[in-house]
Amino acid sequence: MKYSKPHEFVTEAIEESNLTKQVDAAIRSENNNFIVQALLSDDAKLVKVVHRRVHLFCDMKSTLCYG
């Protein structure tokens, strides 16, 4: 992705970090409604973050529980 100004990269990184925190909190609290709604969202960035974090959480959980 090309950025016309350096601060655009920083702004996007902060937004993604905030989304990651929200998604991680929903995963830890087992707030499945939030996860499902996020995956069905029209916000591509949110869908990407949720998808990535759910896969990471499942990988970690299976490694810890079955590894």
User: In angstroms, what CA-CA distances link 24 with 3, 5, 10?
Assistant: 27, 29, 21
Q: What's the structural domain count of the chain?
A: 1
Query: Which pLDDT tens digit goes with each residue over 5-56?
Result: 778 888 888 999 999 999 999 999 988 999 999 999 999 999 999 999 999 9
Q: Which domain holds residue 33?
A: 6-66
pTM: 0.77
Return all residues near 25 (Cβ < 8 A) that are at least 6 apart. Answer: 31
Is 11 a member of any domain?
yes
Sign, CA torsion 35/63/16/4: negative
Domain for residue 1, yes or no? no
Give the pair of three-digit tokens for residue 40. Answer: 């069905």
Task: Judge whether 15 lies within some domain.
Answer: yes
